[in-house]
A and B are shown apart, each in its own frame.
Chain A
Amino acid sequence: EIVLTQSPATLSLSPGERATLSCRTSQSVSNYLAWYQQRPGQTPRLLIYDASNRATGIPARFSGSGSGTDFTLTISSLEPEDFAVYYCQHRRNWPLTFGGGTKVEI
């Protein structure tokens, strides 16, 4: 099983600041990695797939990078609605696994 480790667990920032979230995998997943956002009380939303492709309707302030075992989600300038929990997920093989999440808080 590929283990995904997200850091930091919590990121405390202000609106307008840049957020940098990390996801490390226990073995290479190539570029088969996605990022999701989950706001309180809402369902998860796909942000980034295949490490760097924005999903439909996702604002350009969200970007993903990385390959192999080290990946980054960057939010260039935080909007109030971006304060949420973010998860990474791989699809390299079975079982599919998620990271434990990073909470971005004000």
Chain B
Amino acid sequence: EVQLLESGGGLVQPGGSLRLSCAASGFTLSSHDMTWVRQAPGKGLEWVSSMTGSGDYTNYADSVKGRFTISRDNSKNTLYLQMNSLRVEDTAVYFCVRGLNGWFFEYWGQGALVTVSS
């Protein structure tokens, strides 16, 4: 059974950093394209960052480019999102998702809440 379990969310002050983790089970991360999608409270869905299964390509939304970094540890079968210079507008639930046909989103984690506030 495919499972994605996010962790690392929490409350952080503006300008601070957090690292989200997404532990995958039931499949091998390096065989699938992976993405982070976020949803601000009461709002719609927003693509944040993606990584190919081979790991040789990553991409970022303009709103997070230069501040967020997607990575993974194949030995732990875990995907990460390092978030630096956090802003109030980064407040959202962050979902780890597995791709279907590349960049459609078939399997979703339960989400990790990130709150940026002073």
Contact = CB atoms under 8 A, between A and B. Distances in A.
A43 B62 contact: no
Interface stretch (B15-23, B44-52, B66-74, B79-87): B44-52
Contact of A44 (B59, B101, B102, B105): B105
A71 interface: no
Interface of A: 34, 36, 38, 43-46, 49-50, 55-56, 87, 89, 91, 94-101
B104 A43 contact: no
A55 B99 CA distance: 12
Nearest to B45: A98
What interface size band does chain B fall in? 20 to 34
A101 B104 contact: no
Contacts, number: 55
Contacts of A43: 95, 108-111
A33 B27 CA distance: 25
21 contacts: A34-B105, A43-B111, A44-B95, A44-B105, A46-B100, A46-B104, A46-B105, A49-B104, A50-B104, A56-B106, A87-B45, A89-B45, A91-B101, A91-B103, A95-B61, A95-B62, A96-B47, A96-B50, A98-B45, A98-B47, A100-B44
B29 to A, nearest CB: 19
Nearest to A49: B104
Nearest to A90: B103
Contacts of B108: 43-45
Contacts of B109: 43
B100 to A, nearest CB: 6
A101 B106 CA distance: 18
A46 B104 CA distance: 8
B45 to A, nearest CB: 4
Contacts of A87: 44-45
A58 to B, nearest CB: 11
A34 B104 contact: yes
Contacts of B45: 36, 38, 44, 87, 89, 98, 101
